[in-house]
Structure 1
């Protein structure tokens, strides 16, 4: 009997308007995580982004009904689009990712 073939699958993406190597990039990152069956979640520090663009804080697995899941799980393209749209607006210590970008990349045109 032959050995089964190993499969590989990407399960997480990091989304940020700050480029890799930027000193502030990791604190402003949004994560798109695979949740199974073709569904992805947009997360940041335990919060989950909904289809309406608002973050649900601290929702526990037992509090998630079908309606909640329908609003917070997406196909990959939709999840990445929502994360990209939210990325400039991530706030850390009162400053947005867009503020941090302008501070560390003043010579580059605004994105």
Structure 2
């Protein structure tokens, strides 16, 4: 028995935040919203981008994840950063990681998001 991959990452949002989640994850990050299975809670929303599946779930006792975070690989980090800054999102550099350029931002709910691009 062995772990063979990562199926999805789930982030929590407060009740009623689906519209803001769609604006951020689909509108700014360019992910695609996909339908949730009908047997699951109708709240929240799911997104995909490349090989990443991101599930956004409503938590009635929501607290943002300010340390734990997904790290999303992108193919145009500078362009994405410009789009986020233009939309009013704060971006923060961090210590370098060999082989990558990267920065952190937050979704509209304060969840920490790392965005990375592999260097050639």
Whichever structure has more strand as a proportion of its residues is 2
Higher helix fraction: Structure 1 or Structure 2? Answer: 1
How high is the TM-score relative to the length of structure 1? 0.26
TM-score, L = length of structure 2? 0.24
